[in-house]
Amino acid sequence: MERQRMITQMREKGKTPENQLRNEEILSLQEKDFRLSMLKMMQDVGNKLEAKMDNLQETLTKEIQDIKLKQEEMQNTITEIKNSLEAANSRIQEAEERISEVEDRLEEIMDAEQKREKRLNTNEESLRELWDNVKRTNIHIIGVPEGEEREKRTEKIFQEIIAENFPNMGKEPLTQIQEAQRVPYKINPRRNTPRHILIKLTKIKDKEKILKAAREKKQVTYKGTPIRLSADFSAETLQARREWHDILNVMKGKNLQPRILYPARLSFRFEGEIKTFTEKQTLREFSNTKPVLQQILKELL
Amino acid sequence: MERQRMITQMREKGKTPENQLRNEEILSLQEKDFRLSMLKMMQDVGNKLEAKMDNLQETLTKEIQDIKLKQEEMQNTITEIKNSLEAANSRIQEAEERISEVEDRLEEIMDAEQKREKRLNTNEESLRELWDNVKRTNIHIIGVPEGEEREKRTEKIFQEIIAENFPNMGKEPLTQIQEAQRVPYKINPRRNTPRHILIKLTKIKDKEKILKAAREKKQVTYKGTPIRLSADFSAETLQARREWHDILNVMKGKNLQPRILYPARLSFRFEGEIKTFTEKQTLREFSNTKPVLQQILKELL
Amino acid sequence: MERQRMITQMREKGKTPENQLRNEEILSLQEKDFRLSMLKMMQDVGNKLEAKMDNLQETLTKEIQDIKLKQEEMQNTITEIKNSLEAANSRIQEAEERISEVEDRLEEIMDAEQKREKRLNTNEESLRELWDNVKRTNIHIIGVPEGEEREKRTEKIFQEIIAENFPNMGKEPLTQIQEAQRVPYKINPRRNTPRHILIKLTKIKDKEKILKAAREKKQVTYKGTPIRLSADFSAETLQARREWHDILNVMKGKNLQPRILYPARLSFRFEGEIKTFTEKQTLREFSNTKPVLQQILKELL
């Protein structure tokens, strides 16, 4: 559109002389007038074409100048963009280096964490063993009503239980009580069972003698009311022992003579041998090779 | 400026014939010369305009070619920039993914850390309890001059203290000494107080009997010089007990019969009941509901 | 090339009239024909130049339009690039902020880790002390054949060893055995040495009396066969004691009367004084000031 308009405009400015002088007029002119007309016409043709050319030149030159200005402007923008892009690339470079640094430190942290995790596991295992060790001479008495120890010393309750249930045991264990108390210190008002009584003896042998006698007597009482005597373990060992519970009961029914050994091992008689397992995983692997055992333990492992 | 210079230049090259032939000259010419002049003039006008046009064409064409070259150059730069920008975007993309990965791992680490933090707290609590347990049958004797144990066994010093202060206690605790020694092993030359003597008894009951007798006697001596007997706790429990100290003293003054219970609980009589607190926080909450108590404990909680 | 082709093309289109009419022809024309010819020639010159100019105008205008179109296209691309670059910068900005956040959290984690590391060290030290404490009344009996304890109680083996080697020791330590058993529970089938027997006594004094008697007797036996009695320590303390071993032997040869004190300190007589060291590092620093000692310990520190 723009281009068409421009061409039309230029044609109007520079009309050819053909429409101004007719042939008849030329032929009727006096020689003198003809000559001057010719001169004039020639000048007119030259002037008009020249004007037209100047006009074209001016128009195009202006166009070109505009283009050049625009080009210059764009070039500046491009230069700006290049600089900006360079700056962006520098920032990316720097960011990448920071990320690498962070990744390296993360790797270090994770390595350190893995080591600490192992140490934490070792410490927890060590703590569990220490607690089991500390609790190894303890007996828990479960079921003695709260308040009994207000009238007589807790130690006395234990002595009475021994006298009531195991009259032939002898006096020795009774002289070796290091500690006798309710645990925990505080009564939890939401529990309506009496707290345990904790008896700490001096010798493991005495504890074992009493617990063995209790197992054999089946029913232990305090003032005629049934109570229970049990060994004392760390929370973790107690949990580990409980996890053998179902297997133990099934094995009892199958006459495998199962027992839980200290601290939390399962032992039983199988194919004429005593087998001992620390983890369900190893028992599972063993039972996979013994179809009879696998049948007995199915869904328990 | 550039444009103006160009136009002027072109006008000089293509002058019209009007200034070369005057009208008079034309009229004075012979017919033959006029005709040849006309022909010549016409050719000149044509040639000059044509030359001018060629010149214009050449000039503008050159301008346009320059512009096109420049444009091509810019286009190349733009293409380069586009590629470079695309590469930058890829790097950003990759960096963002690495950051996301790092953030995820950080999240995992923080989760793992939180779990380890809990385990660490649990272990520390467990260690504290173990130490308190281990130290539960211990008595610290404070104030016996260094060197006394060189002449007689440390155990003998303890036996003499019992005999000197509690002549009616009986012999039993004295036969139950598991350990008797100075602590720590090394004398710190910057401290000028004698090291404590640590007595480990077998039964908690014996320890409690001796410490109770010491409290009742108020002043305990060794060879007539005042000394102190005290229970033994883990560093953490000792600190926790010390934190009740100021409150204990104020409560004593107000006849609330305060006591520190094992391991570090504050117990006192209030409104006819025995109240027991493990932490200052819970005591603060309780006292907020009891204006009398709040008044007594103001600035101590 | 392109430019040259264009100029040639335009010249052919706009030929000057000089080759169409010869001078002779002009001179031979009748006045009327001359006048009409002049008019015609003038019109032709004008038309041809005008056509040429139009052609030039059209050609250049087209060129310029093409350039402008291309320029517009480039401008659009540049605008796109600017927007894209702006977006990239925003992403970089955001990525940098995420990195900073990650770095901060990393710093926090590392601080927290450092604290946990310290607590872990403290806990391990505490565990080591607890184990040393627990094991302090223990005696290890090394070298009694496996199976002996099947015929008689493990405790009985210990009593026989005392009777066989230290007949004058008296009965007291024997009544204070808290525990007597093989350790570990499980026989390791790859070891062909018998497991140790662990005896836990009540009093440290009794343990020390027995170990001292064993050291003095040099050779301890069970049923005439040599065995060894040794103290019991945590794994860490045992390791720390072993690390003094070479130095101890060299010092013995130099009559420095070296001893390992509880739990793992090296003690020896030097320049008339008893020196005690907990770590090799401090012994090294001390020996650096004593050329005689440095000579003795060379290559051992």
Pull the structure tokens for residue A188.
């939890």
Yes or no: say if B130 and C133 are a contact pair by the CB < 8 Å rule.
no
Q: What is the pLDDT of residue A14?
A: 41
List, as one string, the DSSP characters of B180-243: EEEESSS--TT--SPPEEEEEES-HHHHHHHHHHHHHHS-EEETTEEEEEEE---HHHHHHHHT
The CA distance from A168 to the nearest CA of chain B, in Å, is 25
C277: tokens are 């060291």
B281 has pLDDT over 60:
yes
- CA dist., res. A19 & res. C43, Å (int): 10
DSSP helix/strand/coil, B287: helix
Cα dihedral value B230, B231, B235, B237, nearest 10: -120
Inspect the interface and report whether the beta carbons of B49 and A49 lie closer than 8 Å: yes
Topology of domain B134-233, CATH: Alpha-Beta Plaits (3.30.70)
Type of residue at C130: L
User: A63, A121, A178: best mutation site toward chain B, by most B Cβ within 10 Å?
Assistant: A178
Contact B6 A61 (CB under 8 A): yes
Mean pLDDT across chain A, nearest whole number?
Answer: 88
Q: Is B36 helix (H, G, I), strand (E, B) or coil?
A: helix
The mean per-residue pLDDT over the stretch A293-301 comes to 88
Q: Which residue has the higher pLDDT, C85 or A13?
A: C85
Q: Encoding tokens for residue A148?
A: 């009994």
What is the C-alpha to C-alpha distance for residues C38 and A27, in angstroms, rounded to an integer? 11
Most confident range, picked from A43-52, A213-222, B19-28, C5-14? A213-222
Between A11-25, A55-69, B29-43, the lowest mean confidence (pLDDT) is in A11-25
Q: Percent of chain A, pLDDT > 90?
A: 64
pLDDT, position C275: 93
* Mean pLDDT, chain B, whole residue set: 88
Residue B2 has pLDDT above 80, yes or no: no
What is the pLDDT averaged over residues B268-273?
93
Higher pLDDT, A1 or B58: B58
Helix or strand run (H / E) with residue C140: strand C138-142
| Residues C29/B31, Cβ–Cβ less than 8 Å | no
Given a contact cutoff of 8 angstroms between Cβ atoms, the answer to whether A208 and A173 are in contact is: no
**Residue B258, SS3 per DSSP:** coil
How far is it, in rounded angstroms, from Cα A98 to Cα A102? 6
ipTM associated with this complex: 0.81
**Coil, strand or helix at A191:** coil
Query: Nearest CA to B50 among A253, A173, C90, C51?
Result: C51
**C60 and B57: CB-CB below 8 Å?**
yes
Per-residue confidence (pLDDT) for residue A87, from 0 to 100 = 96
Q: Give how far Cα B75 sits from Cα of A182, C78, C81, Å.
A: 91, 10, 13
Q: Computed over its alpha carbons, how large is the radius of gyration of chain B? A: 56
Distance CA B57, CA A7 (A): 16
- Could you give the dihedral angle defined by the CA atoms of residues A227, A230, A235 and A241, in that order, rounded to the nearest 10 degrees? -120
Domains A137-233 and A243-297 share a fold: no
Order of strands across the sheet with B220-222? B177-183, B196-201, B138-142, B225-231, B220-222
Is residue C179 within 8 A of residue C200, CB to CB? The reply is: yes
Burial level of B50, CB count in 10 A (0-12/13-18/19+)? buried
Max CA distance (Å), chain A: 173
Instruction: Check residue C4 and give its pLDDT.
Output: 58
Does residue B149 come out as left (phi exceeding 0), alpha (psi in the -120 to 50 range) or beta? alpha
| Contact indicator for B3, B40 with CB cutoff of 8 Å | no
Task: Quote the tokens at residue C210.
Answer: 């027995």
Residue A298 DSSP label: T
* Inter-chain residue contact B16 with A47, CB threshold 8 Å: yes
What is residue C170's predicted lDDT score, i.e. its pLDDT? 75
**Is the Cα dihedral C21, C24, C28, C30 positive or negative?**
positive
Q: List all residues 6 or more positions away from C192 whose beta carbon is below 8 Å from its beta carbon.
A: none
CATH of A243-297, one of 3.30.250.20, 3.30.450.40, 3.90.640.10, 3.40.50.300: 3.30.250.20
Q: Per residue in A87-132, pLDDT tens?
A: 999 999 999 999 999 999 999 999 999 999 999 999 999 999 999 9
Distance CA A54, CA A48 (A): 10
B143-173 per-position pLDDT tens digit: 999 988 887 888 899 999 999 999 988 776 6
**Taking chain C (301 residues) in consecutive chunks of 10 residues, what is each chunk's mean pLDDT?**
51 45 79 88 88 91 93 94 95 97 95 95 95 93 90 88 90 76 79 90 88 92 95 93 93 92 91 92 93 90 82
B88: closest CA of chain A, how far (Å): 7
Which residues in chain B touch residue A113, judged by CB atoms under 8 angstroms apart? 109, 112-113, 116
Q: Which residue has the higher pLDDT, B109 or B178?
A: B109
Q: What is the pLDDT of residues B68-123, one digit of tens each?
A: 999 999 999 999 999 999 999 999 999 999 999 999 999 999 999 999 999 999 99
Per CB-CB distance under 8 Å, the chain B contacts of C56 are 53, 56-57
| Pairwise CA distance, residues C142 & B176, whole Å | 29
Domain boundaries defined on chain C:
135-232, 243-297
What is the four-CA torsion angle of A49, A50, A55, A59, rounded to 10 degrees?
100
**b/e C21-49 (16+ beta carbons within 10 angstroms → b):** beeeebeeeeeeebbebbbebbbbbbebb
d(CA B86, CA C87): 12
Q: How far is B224 from chain A (nearest CA, A)?
A: 32
Q: How far is CA C124 from CA B294, C118, C235, C237, in A?
A: 42, 10, 12, 12
Task: Determine the Cα–Cα distance for residues C23 and B217; give it in Å rounded to an integer.
Answer: 159
Q: Distance between CA C159 and CA C180 in Å, rounded? A: 11
| Beta-carbon separation of C45 and B50 below 8 A | no
Cβ distance B52 to A53 less than 8 Å, yes or no, reads yes
Say yes or no for a CB contact (<8 Å) between A64 and C64: yes
pLDDT at B246: 93
**Scanning every residue of chain B, which has its alpha carbon at the shortest distance from the alpha carbon of C205?**
B179
Distance CA A78, CA A140 (A): 87
Chain C nearest-CA residue for A22: C39
First to last CA, chain A: 89
Q: B35 phi and psi, to 5 degrees?
A: -60, -45
Chain C contact set for B47 (CB, 8 A): 16, 18
> Over 80: is that where the pLDDT of B5 sits?
no
CA geometry: angle B84, B88, B89, nearest 5 deg: 120
Nearest Cβ partner for A99 among B84, B98, B137: B98
Does the pLDDT of residue B6 top 80, yes or no? no
Please name the residue of chain B whose CA is at the shortest distance from the CA of residue A202: B202
The minimal CB distance from B74 to the residues A50, A74, A120 is found for A74
Q: What is the pLDDT of residue C39?
A: 86
Mutation target vs A (from C16, C35, C206; most A CBs, 10 A cutoff): C35
Residues in C closer than 8 angstroms to B114, CB to CB, are: none
- Topology of domain A137-233 in CATH is Alpha-Beta Plaits (3.30.70)
d(CA C199, CA B266): 41
Name the 3-class secondary structure at A256: coil
CATH superfamily entry for domain C135-232: L1 transposable element, RRM domain (3.30.70.1820)
Closest CA to A177 of B268, C186, B176: B176
Instruction: Chain B: give the shortest CA distance to residue A106, in Å.
Output: 8
d(CA B249, CA B252): 5
Hey, what amino acid is at A75?
Answer: Q
Residue B171 pLDDT = 74
Closest C-chain CA to A21? C39
Contact A177, B203 (CB under 8 A): yes
**Which among B20, B177, B67 has a CA at the least distance from the CA of C60?**
B67
Provide the 3-class DSSP secondary structure of residue C261: strand
Say if CB C46 and CB A45 are below 8 A apart: yes
pLDDT at B43: 85
* Residue B34 distance to chain A (closest CA, Å): 8
Exposure b/e, B119-136, CB count within 10 A at least 16 = b: ebeebeebbbbbbbbbbb
Q: Of the given ranges (A167-176, A267-276, C145-154, C230-239), which has the lowest mean pLDDT? A: A167-176
Does the pLDDT value for residue B13 go beyond 50?
no
